[in-house]
Structure 1
């Protein structure tokens, strides 16, 4: 597949949506891994899957986001049109309404505890929406909302190959705890990728949530992994209390955070020092937090 560029997007718009062909197209400041995103004028964005594995997200977002957006207090991305594959770009793609806000950092929020409350409240609201007929966890969303056991072999491989770096016994113990329980209640909606790049801030507060490509229904534990990747000890407790998670669900949430940090460290330790250092710090924070409980 060709590299996704402004020129490619312009040709797609000219061919399929000529009414918008006079609008300026420019890359967004922060574009994710699964998709490439561009401004289309001032009030829209164009979102193109970066590989075939991410293409199923388009149909899912087109179907469900208009429904979810009507039931959520905070703004989320809403599809306006769906682009078709062609010879130059062989995947479906989306035009969405532009959502205002800055990408979350520790520097642009006023109060970490309040942010934890607001994010927890958004997730509870999402979980409260009727999930009947929603897409069950699977390959389309990399099993977010499903069982962590899918990543057992991958995690154990990362543990084994870094046992001289991390506290192997404690990490094994946390991982076993995460695998011991399952979500036995009705499936609920999960965003699937609650992370800095998908949370927007205005005037120091959470103002919008974007990128629902990994949307699904199932176990909400995966959406709480940010407890260890962004929050400190106090705000982590606030987040947990707002979500009202029992200990087993919290153990699975910690397992999701641990899995991602371990495989990211293992995959980057010899090639990307910055990414490896960030993941190293997260693993150690998870260990410290567990030992202090």
Structure 2
């Protein structure tokens, strides 16, 4: 999305911000085109159809629920010239975006992630249950998607070995009840301040799910020793831990082939996660 288009939409719909500097950030994002607006705001323009009102509701629910910063919704925009979807304005969060290697040996960061997950789990589902789409429900429901990933991954990955691993992971039963989860704790959604977690982005997926879902960060972020420190702090069952590994596998398989040519950092994350899942 062009900066000029974003500026025109902001000027037309929110003239109070028309003179603030506007700059694209996070150019490797896959869900939103994000622009920093002045010192304290971000404008987010979905790259695919999204329910921005539901995202804002999730942001309001999570805001202030933990000691870690999360975005606060500020305004909702509507489609306009050059952009066909609703969009949003949120608060800007300071911090450095993490990567698959930036905190892999940092146990303090692992403890912060465990604390954040515990904080999210204290939220009241208020009668809600898993929405039935995406990660966080039943593992076998993703068989068809994984099959498409295996076919697309030929020549990029050791597909026969990964097929065998999925055949084992998909059989893992779930015994723990649903809890509130962030739903997408990948490095690109986590901000750091030195050794510590500073903030968490992309909170629109907040909702009830398999408690193993938020454990995916262990394989996206940490080496073996730091994973064990995180595991001790997050206090999960052995079965939930293995299901977290399965959800991380499901996500990583799609990252490698889908972004192989278009978004190298995301493809690199997928490869790194698969290496950790298979023994690294």
Gaps of 5+ in 1: none
1:72 aligns with 2:72: no
Aligned to 1:40: 37
Q: Which residue of 1 aligns with 2:121?
A: 127
- Aligned counterpart, 1:260: 251
Q: How many angstroms does 1:164 deviate by?
A: 10
What SS does the corresponding residue of 1:119 show, helix, strand or coil? helix
Distance change in 2, residues 1:128/1:277 (3 Å):
closer
Root mean square deviation, CA, Å: 2.9
Q: How far apart are the structure 1 equivalents of 2:93 and 2:257?
A: 35
CA shift at 1:267, angstroms?
A: 4.2
TM-score by length of 1: 0.83
**Does the 8 A contact of 1:131 with 1:187 survive in 2?**
no
Mapped pair 1:175 → 2:193: no
Displacement after TM superposition at 1:184 (Å): 4.5
Which segment drifts farther, 144-153 or 260-269?
Answer: 260-269
Describe the superposition over 1:252-288 as per-residue Cα deviations: whole angstroms up to 9, x where unpaired.
2111222223333344668888765654443233222
Gap change, CA 1:24 and 1:272, over 3 Å in 2: closer
2:92 to 94, 98, 120: 98
Q: Give how far 1:148 is off.
A: 2.3
Separation in structure 1 between the aligned mates of residue 69 and residue 107 of structure 2, nearest angstrom:
21
Query: In the superposition, relative to structure 1, how do residues 26 and 267 fare at CA in structure 2: closer, same or farther (>3 Å)?
Result: closer
User: Which is richer in helix?
Assistant: 1
- Match of 1:235? 226
Deviation at 1:243, TM superposition (A): 1.8
Counterparts of 1:1-293 in structure 2 under 5 Å? 4-30=1-27, 32-52=29-49, 55-56=50-51, 58-105=52-99, 112-134=106-128, 136-139=130-133, 143-159=134-150, 162=154, 166=158, 168=160, 171-172=162-163, 174-267=165-258, 279-288=270-279
SS in 1 for 2:74: strand
Distance 2:172 2:124 in 1: 24
**Residue correspondences, number:** 279
**Is the 8 Å Cα contact of residues 6 and 26 (structure 1) preserved in structure 2?**
yes
Per the TM alignment, residue 69 of structure 1 is displaced from its structure 2 partner at its CA by 1.1
SS of alignment partner, residue 36 of structure 1: strand
Q: So what's the TM-score if we normalise by structure 2?
A: 0.87
CA distance in 1, matches of 2:148, 2:95: 39
